[in-house]
Structure 1
């Protein structure tokens, strides 16, 4: 399995107990939906592009997005400790289906961003998953423009037309296009 054929489900936070259990964070809405998980692919911190398949013996949801995870062959704390910080991946083919208009970030890279007032703006180049919120990065008039991924600003994606529809607040593009007062001072 190649890293490009997977999505990150979450990561291992720490060990739990002496018998090889680990506590993991699952970046999902409902961790309980993964209790029947059979296999997970680990990308260890020292080799982030190499994936190693591990059979899952048990997934026990805890508070919020945390789960208690038991992997086959990891029987002692000494075997679990090197897994701390490892990313947990699943094949892209296992992504849950979305409702019409919803999208996964990786699916809309290269889509045209269409504003309800300004029309076509540019292409989606990337997404940044920041602690505060996710940001869509688009190229507009040679500048990278970041758009918060919130329902009020990003409405939906049209997978056939390869377009993502937004309602940008007035002045957002100006922030990126007009030079700051410091940049103006440096230019003079």
Structure 2
């Protein structure tokens, strides 16, 4: 059984494309193309299931058209519409040693000075020039932290912790 903590979300399945079982795949991370991925993991009714790919091709920078093994009709492909797509962390980390923004969702952020956990990363906003970690604090509050190399002092992928040198007063904003 595939456990949620061993994978991370990279996108979702869109509508069927054509009549031969191909689907559109809207992705946030193209790790499946950078590694020798034979399969993607889909959330089907709350269960993480591997689906092996026959082939895929890019439609644009955010969408690929994927043909899964044994999916030969539009009706079969339609059953996957809206499914969240995940990728194994172990394969992604072997990619090039660099973590993508999608991979760090779920990591905890710890203040390097105090050692206190500030919150858990729920998403990364990279829509502007200043990328932000969107955190949820242990108290349940939302918090935005700049995601800059100057503030990050260490990343522990095994413990899933990012240690940051946070400027004084940032947490009280």
Q: TM-score, normalised by structure 1?
A: 0.68
Q: How many residues align?
A: 162
Identify unmatched segments of 5+ residues in structure 2: none
- Measure the CA separation in 1 of the matches of 2:66 and 2:155: 37
User: Structure 1: which 5+ residue stretches go unaligned?
Assistant: 176-188
Deviations 1:94-122 (A, max 9, x none): 1134349x99426743x6322xxxx3262
* CA distance in 1: counterparts of 2:102 and 2:8, whole angstroms: 14
Alpha-carbon RMSD across the aligned residues, in angstroms, is: 3.4
Aligned counterparts of 1:54 and 1:37: Cα–Cα separation in 2:
11
Matches within 5 A, 1:63-78: 63-78=60-75
Question: Structure 1 residues 32, 84: CA separation in 2 closer, same or farther (over 3 Å shift)?
Answer: same
- Whether the aligned pair in 1 keeps the contact of 2:134 and 2:142 (CA below 8 Å) is no
- 1:165 CA drift (Å): 1.3
Q: Which has the larger radius of gyration?
A: 1
The equivalent of 1:39 in structure 2 is 39
Give me the whole-angstrom Cα distance separating, in 1, the residues matched to 2:22 and 2:107.
36
Match of 1:61 among 58, 63, 67: 58
User: Deviation of residue 155 (structure 1)?
Assistant: 2.4
Q: CA deviation at 1:9?
A: 2.5
The TM-score, its normalising length taken from structure 2, stands at 0.73
